[in-house]
Amino acid sequence: MGDTTQVSGLDPETLRRKYLAERDKRLTVDRAAGYVSPEGALARYLEDPYVQGAARPAVVEEVDAALIGAGFGGLQTAVHLAKLGVDNFKIIDKAGDVGGVWYWNRYPGASCDIESYVYMPLLEEMGYVPTEKYTRGPEIFRYAQSIAERFDLYRRALLSTQVEELRWDETAGRWRIRTDRGDLISARFVCLGTGVLQSVRLPAIPGIESFEGHSFHTSRWDYAYTGGDPTGGLDGLGDKRVGIVGTGATAVQCIPHLGAAAKHLYVFQRTPAAVPVRDNRPTDRAWAESLAPGWHKHRIENFNNLICGVPQEDDLVADGWTEVLGRISVDLQGVNDASPDRQLADFAYMEKVRQRVDEVVRDPATAEALKPWFNIMCKRPCFHDQYLPVFNQPNVSLVDTNGLGIERIEGRTVWAGGQAYELDCLIYASGFDFQGGNLAQRNRFEVYGRGGRGLTDKWAGGMTTLFGYFNHGFPNLFNQTATQAGLTSNVTHGLGEAGKIFAQMVRYGLSNGVKAFDATTQAEIAWTDRLRAMAGARTRYDLECTPGYYNNEGKPAEFEGLNSFYPEGAAAFIRLMDDWVSDGRFEGLDLARAGVAVTA
Ligand code: NDP
């Protein structure tokens, strides 16, 4: 990294003080209280703008497995079940189609922020190679649909259907699932593939409910109002003054399209994003044709190992993620050491990110306001090449709120920094509730296990699980999650690995007459203690971070060991789970056969 004591003329101590001052500025308010869930007067922000589920008769059915969520988690699980010969299952999703986040997030410019050759699952099974290194939302959504078509999943899907309750029936050894369509599905096994970033949150801005212009959240994009489609061309905005709240990964992708179309665009910024180079390009067809069998798994593992700090001979993806997580910063769990050298490398990397702003943005005051002052993994890096140039356009204004956010909304007026902005349209790129331990709130349904106990009640003092997947008192229920499991930036990879474990448990249970798999209390305590004992590095890193959902809005200690992740990293976690499932003993679970509980 060259000089390890000075970074572009700034000494590390000065930089550190600047980072902490920027963090502290943002912690003068209760950040967690800065968001509201779209309920009551705000409930319309959750309505599905894409599909209105048609009336249908209620379904009453007994199945071997129910998969809740038809995103890439549920889809991969369904494929793994089918591969193991388990055919009798249902998929339930509140969305009008499969695709999960790619169903909802159709905002203009949405695209894969992880290389699509490792992000998109099942590429070899599907005989598909994405058209770009970071391919766009419509292609990914269409790909999800094609998985459902190929594996005959639509026949088994209940879409535009919200689960209302899951209740364990001890006598039958089944989960009873009730939905808002009056369905009663009775399932031996349930997989909750409900996602971690799907629960829409809105900023708790005083007056938000009374805004008199048009408004929506980015995950419910209103093309009827804006015109255009996910590729852009928002010609309905040509005479509109548009505001966007937020400058996270979503906003960075859609702002170039808003800037291209709006009469005037106001970008309300609370914390600037780090926007390193993206360098997207079309897929080289000759390369695609040269790929040998096994290439996909190999590439996914190579990427995951690198971003988890496991040395590899080659860097196949060779992008910003492998640079940042492999060489510059601590990884998501803090496994890569947070040594002084790492910190200096991070300072130097961020200095380049800030220099890029100066190189691209012509107005010095705007450029200054767009510079991020935090370590790169405090927030999700927003690799992009069209975002910064937008701020050179005369119809785009950056409204920097100096870390404080919008003050209030009155009629059509948005107040920020003591200034009034008259708007026709306000778009909330305010993200999603990331609360591993608050499953019922996130999913909008409760899970009642043995003795009628709710999961919310069980987790009232913090989340406790075995591997993040199993829950004592909630037999045959599998939480397809990263929380208390292995978190990787390549979320579809983690979901697929979890789906494999669930499918193997179901296959084993059906073939061996296991009525109920339940985590033992001892195993659950041992796992939670292990997480707690191993946590620390990431928490130390997070404490110095500017607030955001990565560090629990500035309160990382509340995550530690409870809502956190396997501290040795996703690569180690996947190996651990492979070994655990392949010996067939299901250690840590009680296996009840014909009413007799047997500790495995
Ligand atoms: P984020 O939570 O990352 O961003 C929310 C934004 O809203 C932040 O900039 C936040 O500011 C701002 N904000 C909140 N309240 C206010 C307020 N009162 N006034 C002004 N600004 C406010 O949400 P995103 O939807 O951008 O991203 C969420 C995650 O979704 C990503 O991190 C990523 O994991 C995923 N994603 C993935 C993509 C992909 O793969 N293609 C693309 C987009 C998203 P502050 O920073 O100060 O908190």
Section 324-344 average pLDDT? 75
- Distance (Å) from CA 145 to ligand 1 centroid: 27
Query: Given pLDDT bands bounded at 50, 70 and 90, which one contains residue 540?
Result: confident
CA pair distance 501, 481, nearest whole angstrom: 12
One domain for residues 262 and 116: no
pLDDT at 4 > cutoff 50: no
- Distance (Å) from CA 247 to ligand 1 centroid: 6
Which ligand 1 atom sits closest to the C-alpha of 270?
47
Name the H helices within 89-128.
Answer: 101-104, 116-119, 123-126
One domain for residues 418 and 398: yes
Higher pLDDT, 343 or 215: 215
CA pair distance 181, 421, nearest whole angstrom: 43
pLDDT at 556 > cutoff 50: yes
DSSP for residue 40: G
Share of the chain above pLDDT 70, in %: 93
Within a domain: 425: yes
Beta carbons of 379 and 26 less than 8 angstroms apart = no
pLDDT at 543 > cutoff 70: yes
One domain for residues 170 and 247: no
Beta carbons of 71 and 101 less than 8 angstroms apart = yes
**Residue minimizing CA distance to atom 25 of ligand 1:** 431
Average pLDDT, whole number, for the chain?
92
One domain for residues 440 and 586: yes
Section 321-350 average pLDDT? 81
**Residue minimizing CA distance to atom 24 of ligand 1:** 431
Exposed / middle / buried, residue 210 (Cβ in 10 Å: 0-12, 13-18, 19+): exposed
One domain for residues 255 and 402: yes
One domain for residues 457 and 577: yes
- Distance (Å) from CA 34 to ligand 1 centroid: 13
Section 222-251 average pLDDT? 98
Residue type (1 letter), 508: Y
Q: CA angle 597-599-600, nearest 5°?
A: 125
- Distance (Å) from CA 428 to ligand 1 centroid: 9
Residue type (1 letter), 482: A
| Predicted pLDDT of residue 568 | 83
Q: Which of 430, 454, 483 is the last residue of a domain?
A: 430
What separation in angstroms does the CA of 66 have from each of 110, 157, 190, 443, 516?
A: 30, 10, 5, 15, 15
Within a domain: 226: yes
Say what the pTM is.
0.95
Gyration radius of the chain over CA positions: 24
**Residue minimizing CA distance to atom 13 of ligand 1:** 246
| Predicted pLDDT of residue 3 | 42
pLDDT in tens, 146-198: 999 999 999 999 999 999 999 999 999 999 999 999 999 999 999 999 988 88
- Distance (Å) from CA 17 to ligand 1 centroid: 25
One domain for residues 399 and 264: yes
Structural domain boundaries enclosing 582: 60-199+434-534+569-590
| Predicted pLDDT of residue 560 | 54
- Distance (Å) from CA 429 to ligand 1 centroid: 6
CB within 8 Å of 65: residues ≥ 6 apart:
81, 86, 88, 89, 90, 187, 188, 189, 190, 191, 506
Task: Look at residues 382, 405, 389 and name the one whose alpha carbon lies nearest to residue 245.
Answer: 405
CA pair distance 305, 309, nearest whole angstrom: 6
**Residue minimizing CA distance to atom 8 of ligand 1:** 246
Pocket test for ligand 1, best of 250, 319, 415, 495 (most atoms within 8 A of CB): 250
CA pair distance 70, 544, nearest whole angstrom: 37
Query: Given pLDDT bands bounded at 50, 70 and 90, which one contains residue 584?
Result: confident
pLDDT in tens, 376-417: 999 999 999 999 999 999 999 999 999 999 999 999 999 999
Query: Given pLDDT bands bounded at 50, 70 and 90, which one contains residue 234?
Result: very high
- Tell me which range, 3-7, 96-100, 340-344, 570-574, is most confidently predicted by mean pLDDT: 96-100
Section 437-444 average pLDDT? 74
Beta carbons of 519 and 471 less than 8 angstroms apart = yes
Q: Which of 409, 430, 451 is the last residue of a domain?
A: 430
CB within 8 Å of 516: residues ≥ 6 apart:
173, 475, 476, 590, 591, 592
Query: Given pLDDT bands bounded at 50, 70 and 90, which one contains residue 8?
Result: low
Within a domain: 377: no
One domain for residues 237 and 116: no
pLDDT in tens, 473-515: 999 999 998 888 888 899 999 999 999 999 999 999 999 999 9
- Distance (Å) from CA 228 to ligand 1 centroid: 23
| Predicted pLDDT of residue 2 | 39
One domain for residues 492 and 420: no
Beta carbons of 503 and 77 less than 8 angstroms apart = yes
Q: Please report, for the domain that includes residue 167, its CATH number.
A: 3.50.50.60
One domain for residues 478 and 407: no
| Predicted pLDDT of residue 552 | 82
Domain count, the chain: 2
Within a domain: 175: yes
Section 237-264 average pLDDT? 98
Q: Which of 410, 430, 450 is the last residue of a domain?
A: 430
CA pair distance 324, 303, nearest whole angstrom: 12
Higher pLDDT, 208 or 488: 208
CA pair distance 307, 323, nearest whole angstrom: 8
pLDDT at 68 > cutoff 60: yes
DSSP for residue 547: P
- Distance (Å) from CA 248 to ligand 1 centroid: 4
Which ligand 1 atom sits closest to the C-alpha of 404?
19
Within a domain: 41: no
CB within 8 Å of 313: residues ≥ 6 apart:
none
- Distance (Å) from CA 549 to ligand 1 centroid: 8
**Residue minimizing CA distance to atom 45 of ligand 1:** 271
Ligand 1 binding residues, C-beta < 6 A: 34, 111-113, 197, 203, 205, 245-251, 253, 268, 270-271, 380, 401, 405-406, 429-432, 548-549
One domain for residues 398 and 266: yes
pLDDT at 59 > cutoff 60: yes
CA pair distance 42, 40, nearest whole angstrom: 5
Query: Given pLDDT bands bounded at 50, 70 and 90, which one contains residue 116?
Result: very high
What stretch of H or E contains 25?
helix 12-26
**Residue minimizing CA distance to atom 18 of ligand 1:** 405
One domain for residues 476 and 585: yes
- Distance (Å) from CA 431 to ligand 1 centroid: 4
Which ligand 1 atom sits closest to the C-alpha of 434?
2
**Residue minimizing CA distance to atom 23 of ligand 1:** 431
pLDDT at 260 > cutoff 90: yes
Q: CA angle 443-444-446, nearest 5°?
A: 90
pLDDT at 241 > cutoff 90: yes
| Predicted pLDDT of residue 555 | 82
Which ligand 1 atom sits closest to the C-alpha of 31?
48
- Distance (Å) from CA 123 to ligand 1 centroid: 29
Within a domain: 28: no
Within a domain: 552: no
Which ligand 1 atom sits closest to the C-alpha of 550?
32
Within a domain: 580: yes
